[in-house]
């Protein structure tokens, strides 16, 4: 039976109108067929009985025309007497059927409206359950599915917003606490006004500045407001410049830094500053999670129409459950580690946005905890894409 019912709203509305017509017509015909013979016989007897006040058919000097006219009037009266009650019955049946069908159509909309109202006041966990739209047209099922996806995204966005506020508050609290404590110590005479104290305050102030600048840059990248100043940059220059910038930090920690560069790689069309930032963020991240005596290797090669740059380390590795979240802002694989080395916690998030702005992507793989990790930047050789080749 359910297979005969159309799944689309158009089909169901069409079926509703047809049902109303069929039911109304059926009631009208049935009522007429049932009542017409009895009513016509009664009117015929009245027309034939002189005592009923009617001229008998064919008698009392009436001509054929008068007899025919009388029969016609009697027949019309009989039909009208049958149709009027039938019409009322058909109208009542049509109203009942239309009301039932309208309720079937409007009820899912009511559930959607109620769910929308709850979403509007902040109940982002609200969903439209399948039982609430059971038997509804396919269009309503599709709308309910889209509504649930929207609600899920809103809930996730709200969760991320709260987490972001908590994370930013946490990141700001530590340097602010150190700065405040240092200044109070200077005022109370507990700390000496020497270079060590001033250096500590300056270090934490610089950390705050980096955090604010990184947050601002990430927000601009996410909003698409960070304009890229594209220019040619050779892969060799990009890697050598990045390695030289961070080599001293690697040497200080005792981590080896190696590179493997494929020869003859074409130049990239990139925003030079952003490209260096993306690579340096990966190198800084590898240094942070690789213990002394470890090795970080940087590789560059061509794959089809892309340049692939890999930063592979022998550090602590990443559990499979953490991999999807590595490029999220403030996400830390090792929750017990602090940002003592100066990281703001959003470098990888910035790297991902930089790659997306260049039409590329950032990826990460890891065999698991204790087995290191590999971060990959995939740059399109031709950027922006040439529309003639599309």
State the pLDDT at residue 390. 44
The per-residue b/e assignment along 230-259, b for 16 or more CB within 10 angstroms, e otherwise, is: eeebebbebbeebbeebeebbeeeebebee
Give a yes or no: residue 60 inside a domain. yes
193 and 241 fall within a common domain = no
Q: Tell me, letter by letter, the H, E, C secondary structure of the chain.
A: CHHHCCCCHHHHHHHHHHHHHHHHHHHHHHHHHHHHHHHHHHHHHHHHCHHHCCCCCCCCCCCHHHHHHHHHHHHHHHHHHHHHHHHHHHHHHHHHHHHHHHHHHHHHHHHHHHHHHHHHCCCCCCCCCHHHHCCCCHHHHHHHHHHHHHHHHHHHHHHHHHHHHHHHHHHHHHHHHHHHHHHHHHHHCCCCCCHHHHHHHHHHHHHHHHHHHHHHHHHHHHHCCCCCCEEEECHHHHHHHHHHHHHHHHHHHCCEEEEEECCCCCCEEEEHHHHHHHHHHHHHHHHHCCCCCCEEEEEEEEECCEEEEEEEECCCCCCHHHHHHCCCCCCCCCCCCCCCCCCCCCHHHHHHHHHHHCCCEEEEECCCCCCCEEEEEEEECCCCCCHHHC
Query: Does 360 share its domain with 242?
Result: yes
Check whether residue 30 and residue 61 sit in a common domain. Answer: yes
> Among 202, 223, 244, which residue terminates a domain?
223
One domain, residues 289 and 368: yes
Q: pLDDT value at position 334?
A: 60
Statement to judge: residues 197 and 267 lie in one domain: no
In a domain, 146, yes or no: no
Residues 217, 236 within the same domain: no
Cβ atoms of residues 369 and 319 within 8 Å:
yes
| Three-state DSSP class for residue 124 | coil
Residue 102 lies in a domain: yes
Supply the range of the domain harboring residue 276. Answer: 230-389
**Count of domains forming the chain:** 3
HSE value, Cβ hemisphere, 13 Å, CA-based, for 134:
4
Q: Judge whether 307 lies within some domain.
A: yes
Phi, psi of 28 (to 5 degrees): -65, -45
Two tokens, residue 308: 């692939």
At residue 340, the pLDDT reads 47
Query: For residue 143, what pLDDT is reported?
Result: 83
The model's pTM is 0.57
Residues in the chain: 390
Indicate if 209 and 256 belong to the same structural domain: no
Buried b (16+ CB within 10 A) or exposed e, 336-353: eeebeeebbbbbbbbbbb
> Looking at the structure, do residues 328 and 271 belong to the same domain, yes or no?
yes
Alpha helices in 49-137 (DSSP H): 64-120
The pLDDT value recorded for residue 129 is 80
* Residue reference for tokens 């407001």: 225
Q: Is residue 155 part of a domain?
A: no
* Per-residue tokens: 366: 């890891």
Q: What residues are paired with 168 via a beta bridge?
A: none
Cα–Cα distance between 193 and 186 in angstroms, integer? 6
Q: Judge whether 130 lies within some domain.
A: no
Residue 308 lies in a domain: yes
Write down the H helix ranges in 49-63: none
* 179 and 82 co-located in one domain: no
Q: Judge if 64 and 174 occupy the same domain.
A: no
Asked, for residue 210, whether it belongs to a domain, the answer is yes
**Contact assessment for residue 108 and residue 140, using Cβ atoms and an 8 Å cutoff:** yes
Amino acid 55: pLDDT: 47
Domain boundary among 223, 249, 276: 223
Looking up residue 219, the CATH number of its domain turns out to be 1.10.287.130
Whether residues 219 and 341 fall in one domain: no
| Block mean pLDDT (10 aa), the chain, length 390 | 61 69 74 68 62 49 60 66 73 74 74 82 81 72 84 82 74 80 87 86 81 76 77 94 93 94 93 91 92 95 94 93 85 56 71 91 92 95 62
Asked whether residue 177 falls in the same domain as residue 282, the answer is no
Q: Which CATH number covers residue 322?
A: 3.30.565.10
Boundary of a domain, candidates 121, 148, 174: 121
Q: How many whole angstroms separate alpha carbon 380 and alpha carbon 231?
A: 14
Phi (first) and psi of residue 124, to 5 degrees: -70, -10
């Amino acid at each position: 039976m359910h297979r005969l019912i159309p799944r689309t709203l158009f089909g169901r509305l069409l079926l509703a109108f047809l049902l109303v017509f069929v039911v109304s017509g059926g009631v009208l015909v049935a009522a007429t067929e049932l009542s017409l013979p009895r009513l016509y016989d009664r009117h015929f007897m009245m027309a034939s009985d002189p005592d009923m006040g009617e001229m008998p058919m064919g008698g009392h000097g009436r001509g054929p025309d008068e007899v025919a006219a009388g029969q016609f009037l009697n027949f019309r009266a009989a039909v009208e007497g049958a149709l009027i009650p039938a019409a009322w019955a058909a109208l009542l049946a049509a109203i009942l059927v239309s009301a039932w069908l309208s309720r079937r159509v409007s009820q899912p909309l009511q559930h959607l409206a109620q769910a929308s109202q709850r979403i509007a006041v902040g109940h982002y966990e609200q969903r439209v359950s399948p039982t609430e739209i059971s038997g509804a047209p396919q269009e309503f099922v599709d709308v309910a599915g889209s509504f649930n996806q929207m609600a899920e995204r809103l809930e996730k966005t709200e969760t991320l917003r709260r987490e972001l506020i908590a994370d930013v508050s946490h990141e700001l609290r530590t340097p602010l606490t150190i700065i405040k404590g240092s200044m109070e110590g200077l005022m109370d005479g507990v700390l000496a006004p020497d270079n060590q104290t001033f250096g500590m305050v300056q270090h934490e102030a610089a950390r705050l500045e980096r955090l604010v600048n990184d947050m601002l840059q990430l927000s601009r990248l996410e909003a698409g407001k960070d304009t890229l100043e594209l220019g040619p940059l050779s892969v060799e220059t990009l890697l050598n410049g990045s390695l030289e910038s961070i080599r001293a930090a690697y040497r200080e920690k005792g981590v080896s830094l190696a590179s493997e560069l494929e020869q003859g790689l074409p130049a990239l069309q990139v925003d030079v500053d952003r490209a260096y930032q993306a690579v340096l963020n990966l190198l800084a991240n590898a240094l942070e999670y690789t213990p002394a005596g470890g090795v970080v290797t940087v590789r560059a090669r061509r794959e089809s129409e892309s340049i692939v740059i890999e930063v592979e380390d022998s550090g602590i590795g990443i559990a499979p459950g953490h991999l999807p979240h590595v490029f999220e802002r403030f996400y830390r694989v090792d929750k017990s580690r602090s940002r003592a080395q100066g990281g703001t916690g959003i470098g990888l998030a910035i790297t991902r946005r930089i790659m997306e702005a260049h039409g590329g992507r950032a990826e990460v793989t890891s065999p698991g905890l204790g087995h290191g990790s590999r971060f990959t930047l995939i740059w399109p050789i031709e950027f922006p894409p040439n529309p003639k080749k599309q």
